[in-house]
Structure 1
Amino acid sequence: MTTLAEYYSRVFSPEYFFGLRMVINIGTLLVMLWLFALAYLVWKADSKSLQNRFIGTLLLVEGFKNLWIALEVFPFMHEWNSFWVVAWNIKFDFFFSMQIAAILLYLCFPIYYKIRGLGFMYRPFLQKHAYYLPLAIGIGVWLMIQGQTPFAVNDLSWIECTAEGAAPIVHEFLGTSTSTVVTSGIETTFPDGVCPAALDATLGDEPFGIWAIVFAQTPISILALLFIRSTIRKNLDTDEALPKNQISHSFYIGFLGKVIGSVLFFVTLLLILP
């Protein structure tokens, strides 16, 4: 049985890139709390402003998405299976419902800020509802599709490696460890039937649908970035008095950093931490 001390000392070992993944987990937890605080401050600054409500909701949604990684500050191993059975459902449902909501919210920027060529979307009626409807739709859509084959994770098992050269030990997590996806995953990951190092991991379903939802946000967020840039340029080019609560240059810089960070994170996740 792996103790907490052994687990946390292991995650900072060379085999785990000297704790890079745990540093990301801790950093994500801090970012989540920071986004919640920003959402509160933006909403409180002018709760009657529909633009503030929109940005506040977007920040809140982005914060909830961080639960996917932030929860992994807790030991991700089979000894904590009872905790992770509950936490997995929470982080899985929160992340994907918020991911869908975020995509819809990004597409709502032209509703709250005048974008060249999309002025028809800038309507007071839409502004009254577009800050909360994407959240409700995101949750509703995920509840409808989560059990469907392209989006369902039915079989997921813990893989425990006690030491380098030891045989991997399989523990039940979700579904059954005898499913084809788990057994084939073990054969692919451990072709010689031995562990490359002491580690704890999971193997199981990775349906196409959930990856499509994950990666869909990157191009949509880039599109939203272009919306923001268009708004700022339009404001700079006009001599008219601007209404309050317009997008600031600092917000644009922050959002640009968010987009760059998302791209770098996925590159790190997929290439450096397979």
Structure 2
Amino acid sequence: MASVLDYYVDAFSPQSLFGFYHLVGLFSIVILIWMWGLGYLVIRANPNSMENRFISILLVCEGLKASFLALDFFVYSSPWQDLWDVLFPLKMETFMTAQIVSILLYLSFPVYYRVNILKFMNTETMKNHVWYIAPLLGTLFWLFLRTQDGFTFDNASWIICSQPGTEPIIQNWWGTVTEQVLQYAEDIGTCSRPFDRAVVEEPMGLWGIILLGPVISLVGLLFLRASMKQSQRETESLTNVGVLPSRSLYIGFLGKVIGQIIFFVFVLVILPTLNGGVFFEFADSIRVQYGADPTAYDRILYFIWNFTLIIAPVSVGFEALMFVHATLKDTVFGIDSNLRKTFTNTIFTGIGAMSFLIVSEAMENVVGYGMLGGVLIGGVFIVSRRPILTFIDGISGKLIPSEYSESELKYLEAFKEAIEDNTINSRERKLLANLADAYGIEQERLDHIEQLYKDSLDSNRVIKDDDSEE
């Protein structure tokens, strides 16, 4: 128990950025549970819809991808090697399977969201089968790749330092102790503090699949954009079948793609540039974190690496928010304002957390007391909370527009009050009709928004029209 406590004390120390790496792992667990929950809700909303099944599978895969560091929240050191003999394969097998399946699902967007140039894919037969064939093919493809050279984890070791001022020792986990591991131990030199970390040989084939994701995501984004533009060109008198129902799905995927591109740039450009032109791997974070007398440059490099790790769960979380908004087609009254509120609070909290880490790290290097910076930035955020929230809310209002106009929302408020007793008498209907005329809402649109609101109510609740005056 003492070793577990020591592990987390070190993990949440200022030198470890106050547990930022483990907080990313914890956040990934939350995202995973949220995505699986949303996937279940999407299926529950309409189990017979092929589109709902497709989106549900995609949400589950995106959750698995975002949860790559979820298991890393738990104790990850050599005394717990037997546990990690199980957890490591579980972590990597599910992650890589989800990566490949997601790529196939991105390429399947034209099946469920019609794109004219690929309209041959938008058939009922393909809709009925692609949602389960893509995961099956992706799983089989990974089962084949995992045995091929360049895709297997052949070697792993532990680099251990028992106390400051000593040189690290190497303990083999599986395979052999590679020259790369020996070089890492040599680069660390004299340990600045105790640590016990795993170094797993990272196959370049796996990095190739991971970095292929953003490229295929761009292709999927173009599919969604084409479908969205096509939907906008449809006349209101026609039923939009097989096209993107709203721009929310596109915005969600766009946010995820932007996040992936940022990750792509950090991994392939920024980190290698700062690392002397050498690709920065997970094991490199050990060198810059625990090496003898880490410099401010090492600390900055370590911070950027940790920041890169949170990009995936954050972008996937935003994608889930907008995907569900699109899938439900805004049928839940008030969902737009709830999404905007969630978006605003999330962005505010994220900016606050990142500012705390950056300012604390700066004060740690300047005056040797990082917590002072945290207190100062916390005070600034408390004083400036309202204008910051107002600014973010303005952005969220543009990103997440309501399907209902302001007049329609006011009408729905009156409609909501009228059906509290589950009936609408003739007097209430006349008042509602007059209100609709005053707001300029046409009868066809009126019937549509009333039906949407009724559909969002409890399925056991029935609204009836009563010809009486009271």
**TM-score > 0.5, shorter chain as reference:** yes
Q: How many angstroms does 1:7 deviate by?
A: 1.0
Letter matched to residue 66 of structure 1: A
What corresponds to 1:137 in structure 2? 137
Q: Which amino acid aligns with 2:217?
A: S
Deviation at 1:252, TM superposition (A): 2.3
2:45 maps to: 45
Residue 199 of structure 1 aligns with which residue? 195
Map 1:181-196 onto structure 2 (within 5 A).
181=178, 183-188=179-184, 190-191=186-187, 193-196=189-192
Distance 1:116 1:161, change over 3 A: farther
Structure 2: how far apart are the matches of 1:22 and 1:115?
42
Could you report, residue by residue, the CA deviation over 1:53-73 in whole angstroms, capped at 9, with x for unpaired residues?
A: 111111111122334211111
* Contact 2:214-2:264 within 8 A present in 1 as well: no
Seen in structure 2, the aligned counterparts of structure 1 residues 25 and 247 have a Cα distance that, compared at 3 Å, is farther
Superposition deviation, residue 2 in structure 1: 7.1
Equivalent residue for 2:254, pick from 249, 256, 262: 256
- Specify which of 227, 232, 236 is matched with residue 232 of structure 2: 236
Q: Secondary structure at the match of 1:176?
A: coil
Change (3 A) 1:75 1:241: same
Structure of greater relative contact order (alpha carbons < 8 Å, 6+ residues apart): 1
Change (3 A) 1:252 1:162: farther
Report the Cα distance in structure 2 between the residues aligned to 1:15 and 1:146, rounded to whole angstroms. 36
Structure 2 partner of 1:273: 305
Q: Give yes or no for contact 1:2–1:79 (8 Å, CA) kept in 2.
A: no
Q: Verify the 8 A CA contact 1:67 1:94 in the aligned structure 2.
A: no
After superposition, give the CA deviation of every residue in 1:179-218 in whole Å (9 maximum; x if it has no partner): xx3x333324533632244333222421111111111111
Name the structure 1 match of 2:204: 208
| Cα gap change, 1:198 to 1:262, in 2 (>3 Å) | farther
Which entry has the higher C-alpha Rg, 1 or 2? 2
Distance in 1, matches of 2:264 and 2:18, equals: 19
- The alpha-carbon deviation at position 245 of structure 1 amounts to 8.3
The CA deviation at 1:13 is: 2.1
Q: Is residue 222 of structure 1 aligned with residue 199 of structure 2? A: no
Distance in 2, matches of 1:228 and 1:211, equals: 26
Residue range with higher mean Cα deviation, 190-199 or 149-158: 190-199
Runs of 4+ in 1 over 6 A off after TM superposition: none
Q: 2:65–2:98: 8 Å Cα contact kept in structure 1?
A: yes
Deviation, 1:124, is 1.4
**Distance in 2 of aligned mates of 1:94 and 1:257:** 24
Deviates more, 1:252-261 or 1:91-100: 252-261
User: Which residue does the alignment assign to 1:150?
Assistant: 150
C-alpha separation between the residues in 2 aligned to 1:237 and 1:76? 54
Which region of structure 1 is more displaced relative to structure 2, 113-122 or 199-208?
199-208
Instruction: Using the aligned pairs only, state the percent identity.
Output: 35
2:187 aligned counterpart, secondary structure = coil
> Any unmatched runs of 5+ in structure 2?
272-303, 307-470
Gaps of 5+ in 1: none
| Contact persistence 2:38–2:59 (CA under 8 A) | yes
- The CA deviation at 1:244 is 7.7
TM-score, structure 2 as length reference: 0.54
Alignment check: 8 A CA contact 1:231 1:247 kept: no
Query: What is the deviation of 1:88?
Result: 0.7
Higher helix share: 2
Please name the residue that 1:63 is paired with.
63
Q: Where does 1:95-106 land on structure 2 (aligned, <5 Å)?
A: 95-106=95-106
**CA shift for structure 1 position 82:** 0.8
Partner of 1:30: 30
The whole-number CA distance in structure 2 between the counterparts of 1:58 and 1:254 is: 13
Cα contact 1:15–1:197 (8 A) shared by 2: no
CA distance in structure 2 between the aligned counterparts of 1:109 and 1:244, rounded to whole angstroms: 10
Q: In 2 relative to 1, CA 112–196 (structure 1 residues): closer, same or farther, beyond 3 Å?
A: same
Write the letter of the residue equivalent to 1:218.
P
Equivalent pair of 2:169/2:185 in contact (CA under 8 Å): no
Instruction: State the TM-score, normalizing by the size of structure 1.
Output: 0.90
Change in 2 beyond 3 A, CA 1:210/1:55: same
Distance 1:217 1:192, change over 3 A: closer
Shift of 1:143: 1.0
